Amino acid sequence: MAFFLQQLLNALQVGSVYALIALGYTMVYGVLTMINFAHGDIFMVGSYLAFFASGLLLAYFGQAPPLVIFAGVIVVSMLGTSLLAVLIERAAYKPLRNAPRMSAVITALGIGLLLENAFVAIPAIGPAPRTLGELLPATQLSIGGVTVSSLQLVIIGVAVLTMLALDVTVRKTMVGIAMRAISWDHSIVPLMGVPVDKVISLTFASGAAVAAIGGTLYGMAYTIDPYMGIRIGWWAFISAVVGGIGSIRGAMLGGFLLAFVEIFTPVVLKSSSYRDMIAFSLLLVLLVFRPTGILGRTVSQKV
Amino acid sequence: MNRMVLIVSLCLAVGLTSCTPPSDTTTTTEQGQLTGGTIKIGLNAELTGSIPVVGQSCRDAAEFAVKQIDDAGGIEVGGARVMVELITEDNEDKAEAAAAVAQKLTTSGVLAMIGPNASRNAVPAAEVAESAHIPMISPWSTAPRLTMDARSGAAKQYVFRAAFTDDFQGVVAANFAVQHLQTKRPAVLYDVSSEYNKGIAEVYRTTLQEKGIAVVAFESYTSGDKDFSAQLTKIAQTGADSLFLPNYYSEVPLQVKQARRLGYEGAILGSDSWGSEELLKLAGDDCEGLFFTTHYAADTATPAAKEFIAAYQATYGSVPDDVAALTYDSMGLLFSAVQAAGSVEREAVRNALATISDYEGVTGTMQFQGTGDPIKSAVVIQIKDGKFTFFQTAQP
């Protein structure tokens, strides 16, 4: 029992990160029906911004309470990452908005490779893995044989709060309503006086801000390197597809679902060697029966 | 990663088709008609990718060795002196790129190739070297099949290494786990997608089984994973008393940290892939007291090694790690083979390398007996006060 609870906690931690990144894929797809393959690398940039911000903040405001430093690191990372995402959107995607979708997707792949290789080439960053260190005091509890670390609770807690906030924003605010309207019918919406360009930029910015939160949390628990966005990016993208790409709640659900499959496949199987193979086979089966994902809406093509 | 693999394999396919017939440059070098009294040596190193420190050390040590020999007036070949020129290429720590680099070096007329280091890159590069008849020495690769022909099982003719093999290292680690750690319930966590990790983990398991000890958990992950909690929770639950992590220095600190967090309290040991200062930086106190097997220890070095360590430190400001020491030995082996061959033909150098009987290297005394695998000893190192400290020697 303790064993399963421990694995459940492991899955929640991994799922929190997947879900946060999956949101960025799904939001951009929602407004532009485009898959932003650079999103995994934007997440990577977010974790590096957090890395540098934590170094600077600790050097200049070392006496401040850890919680203030932690909040400061997240805010700096969110702002920087959002700015980068908006710049990328304006410079690379906007000129291609009326070109075939494939062009924009290939451009996104290119941007991703550019970010990875630029980060490897910059001497201050380089390919060596780094750790963000413990921004918050770390403690560990053992409840009935289940080990819970404070960091784990922070990761899951912050992720859940972020997702709730995003869900409310998209459902209740004017900007959120505009985003959903564009995703519903992008040709009518401009006629209603909605500033489409601004809303699209805001979508990129908020997707990146959420990824930056994920990047900061990830950097506190694991090591960061310029290529980290590739693997996490793919898993998060698949999470978004499984949950139903375009659906916010679907992305969250998909992120946790994928993490559960990842964690529990080696638990059920004797050896962990076949983990990824089994995990993705299960997902393929799921997509055969629900091609639009779990919460995705069926698309009817108008002729 | 997948998109890069695709791009690189496309480039490689194009490269292969255009280079299949042996080019003119190759023939000229094979006939030993070199101009200007200079030999070119190719370096195929992991300068970027997941183990950049390995590539960096390899390049530093190779440049150091070349500078040393050139400052001494070059190598004496049949009465004349030839200078050495190093051509460094980055294989990005990717198998496809490593093979492509080997191809490129072959056609650019190098006498021999040093590297790649990680077995996952060295094995495909060795295929290229073998078919192009170009002597290759991998400093760090320990996979048995590096020097073995995949189809016939016979020894490759042109592929050598300066390190001992996984078989030997797996046996040393298993013996140490039994004798020193007195393990009864050993567990293993290894990277299933990497040649090196998989090979060494399997030999470790077989050796323990031969001693009548069954491995209680044999768990794996794939390169790029950073969360090992599922496997480590499983390992902790089996009540394992020792954990073998034959993984790279960039991943080990995370694995140790996560294992401790999930309640694993037993001993942890590793392999030569731990031997980078980077491990100490990433791990902090977490790796204190742990053991690993490796090629040499900087604090119990022989006179030959002490001289190298002091000179290397004066140049680069850091103690040479095992990759640096092995790269330096690879270069040394090559230089002495060129000298012994008295020729700068690839085949003569290959023959001289294969019959080196007593080379006094930085990582110990080496000899080749007909295969590309040297006969040499290993050491066990303990991490003590944030330093790699010599613990004991293990003979072949």
Condensed to tens digits (0 to 9), the pLDDT of residues B165-223 reads 888 889 999 999 999 999 999 999 999 988 789 989 999 999 999 999 999 999 999 88
- In eight-state DSSP terms, residue B200 is H
**Coil, helix or strand at residue B275:** coil
pLDDT tens per residue across span A82-109: 999 999 999 999 999 888 888 999 999 9
Q: Which residues of A have a CB under 8 Å from any CB of B?
A: 3, 6-7, 10-11, 13-14, 109, 113, 120, 126-129, 131, 140, 142, 147, 149, 222-223, 225, 227-228, 230-231, 234, 262-264, 266-267, 271-273, 275-276
Find chain A residues with C-beta within 8 A of B52's C-beta: 126-128
Q: Which residues of A touch B259 (CB under 8 A)?
A: none
> What end-to-end distance do the CA atoms of chain B give, in Å?
39
The length of chain B is 396
On whether residue B49 sits in a domain, the answer given is yes
Task: Count up the domains in chain A and report the number.
Answer: 1
| pLDDT in the model for residue B302 | 78
Q: Which residues of A touch B225 (CB under 8 A)?
A: 231
Neighbours of A181 (CB within 10 A): 17
CA distance A24 to chain B (A): 20
In three-state secondary structure terms, A261 is helix
Task: Identify the domain boundary among B235, B264, B294.
Answer: B294
Integer angstrom CA distances of residue A43 from A20, B228, B291, B293: 10, 21, 35, 37
Whether residue B219 lies within 8 A of chain A, CB to CB, comes out as yes
Tokens for B275?
């031997």
Task: Decide if A75 contacts A212 (C-beta within 8 A).
Answer: no
**Whole-angstrom Cα distance, residue A281 to residue A288?**
11
Q: How far apart are CA A145 and CA A167, in angstroms?
A: 35
Do B346 and B366 share a domain, yes or no?
A: yes
In 3D space, the residue among B321, B328, B333 whose CA is nearest the CA of residue B295 turns out to be: B321
Phi-psi region of B332 (alpha: psi -120 to 50; beta: other; left: phi over 0): alpha
Q: Which among A113, A147, A223 is the nearest to B261, CB-wise?
A: A147
The stretch A68-84 carries a mean pLDDT of 96
* DSSP for residue B211: T
Residue of B nearest to A224 (CA): B226
Choose the closest CB to A271 out of B218, B224, B227: B218
Position B24 scores a pLDDT of 39
B141, B121: one domain: yes
* Residues B121 and B195 grouped into a single domain: no
| Phi-psi category of residue B289: left, alpha or beta, with phi > 0 → left and psi -120 to 50 → alpha | left
Last residue of some domain: B294, B326, B342? B294
B87 has pLDDT over 50: yes
Give mean pLDDT, residues A193-198: 90
Q: How far apart are CA A151 and CA B309, in angstroms?
A: 42
Element of type H or E holding A130? strand A130-131
Question: Which residues does chain B have within 8 Å of residue A238's beta carbon, measured at their own beta carbons?
Answer: none
CA distance A239 to A43: 15
- Residue B247 placed within a domain: yes
Query: If you measure CA to CA, which chain A residue comes closest to B249?
Result: A129
Does residue A247 lie in a domain region? no
Report the distance separating Cα B228 and Cα B219, nearest Å. 10
> Does residue A301 come out as left (phi exceeding 0), alpha (psi in the -120 to 50 range) or beta?
beta
Q: Return the CATH number at B226.
A: 3.40.50.2300
Tokens (6 digits) for B116: 């790649």
For residue B18, is it within any domain? no
Q: Please check whether residue A155 lies inside any domain of the structure.
A: yes
Same structural domain, B45 and B158: yes
B193 touches chain A (CB under 8 A): no
Q: Is a pLDDT exceeding 90 seen at residue A164?
A: yes
Q: What is the pLDDT of residues A245-280, one digit of tens each?
A: 888 999 999 999 999 988 998 888 877 778 888 878
Query: Is the ipTM beyond the 0.90 threshold?
Result: no
Write out the two tokens for B359.
């080379």
Tell which of B268, B294, B320 closes a domain: B294
Rounded average pLDDT over B351-367: 90
- Among residues B94, B84, B103, the alpha carbon closest in space to that of B45 is found at B94
The answer to whether A271 contacts B233, with C-beta atoms less than 8 Å apart, is no
Model confidence pLDDT, tens digit, residues B274-301: 988 889 888 888 889 999 998 888 787 6
Chain A residues with CB under 8 Å of B321 CB are none
Structural domain containing residue A76: 19-226
* CA atoms lying within 13 Å on the CB side of residue A136: 22
B222-238 confidence digits (pLDDT tens): 888 899 999 999 999 99
* Inter-chain contacts counted by CB atoms under 8 A, chains A and B: 87
State whether residue B151 sits within 8 Å of chain A by CB.
no
Domain contains A222: yes
Mean pLDDT of the residues in chain B = 87
Question: Residue B187 forms beta bridges with which residues?
Answer: B217, B243
Residues in B closer than 8 angstroms to A133, CB to CB, are none
- Indicate the SS3 state at residue B39: strand
Q: Minimal CA–CA distance to B226: which of B2, B50, B47, B6?
A: B50
Q: What was the pLDDT predicted at B392?
A: 87
Distance from CA of A102 to the nearest CA of B (A): 15
B293 Cβ under 8 Å from any chain A Cβ: no
The reported pLDDT for the residue numbered B369 is: 86
pLDDT for the residue numbered B324: 95
- A103 in a structural domain: yes
B64 found inside a domain: yes
How far apart CA B385 and CA B382 sit, in angstroms, is 10
User: Is residue B357 one of the residues assigned to a domain?
Assistant: yes
Q: What's the number of CA atoms in the CB half-sphere (13 Å) around residue B233?
A: 24
- Nearest one of A236, A264, A300, A213 to A3, comparing CA atoms: A264
Structurally, how many domains does chain B consist of? 2
pLDDT score of A157 more than 60: yes
In a domain, B126, yes or no: yes
Instruction: Determine the average pLDDT of the residues in A8-28.
Output: 95
Cis geometry, peptide bond prior to residue B116 (ω within 30 degrees of 0): yes
Partner residue opposite B192 with nearest CB, options A10, A113, A273 = A273
SS3 B170: helix
pLDDT of residue A283: 80
Task: Give the model confidence (pLDDT) of B4-60 as tens digits.
Answer: 555 555 555 544 444 434 433 433 444 444 445 899 999 999 999 888 999 999 999
B2, closest residue in chain A (CA to CA): A230
For residue A239, tell me if it sits in a domain: no
**Number of DSSP helices (H) and strands (E) in chain B, helices first:** 13, 16
Q: List the single residue in B220, B226, B262 with the smallest CB-CB distance to A273.
A: B220
Show the domain range for B255: 166-294
Of the candidates B220, B227, B233, which has its C-beta nearest A222's C-beta? Answer: B227
Q: Choose the closest CB to B231 out of A142, A223, A272.
A: A272
Query: What is the model's pLDDT at position A300?
Result: 56
Distance CA B156, CA B154 (A): 6
User: Do the beta carbons of residue B88 and residue B16 sit within 8 Å?
Assistant: no
Q: Is the same domain home to B159 and B308?
A: yes
Q: Do B138 and B198 fall into the same domain? A: no
Helix-then-strand count for chain A, H and E: 10, 4
User: Looking at the domain assignment, is residue B55 inside a domain?
Assistant: yes
| Domain-embedded: residue B29 | no
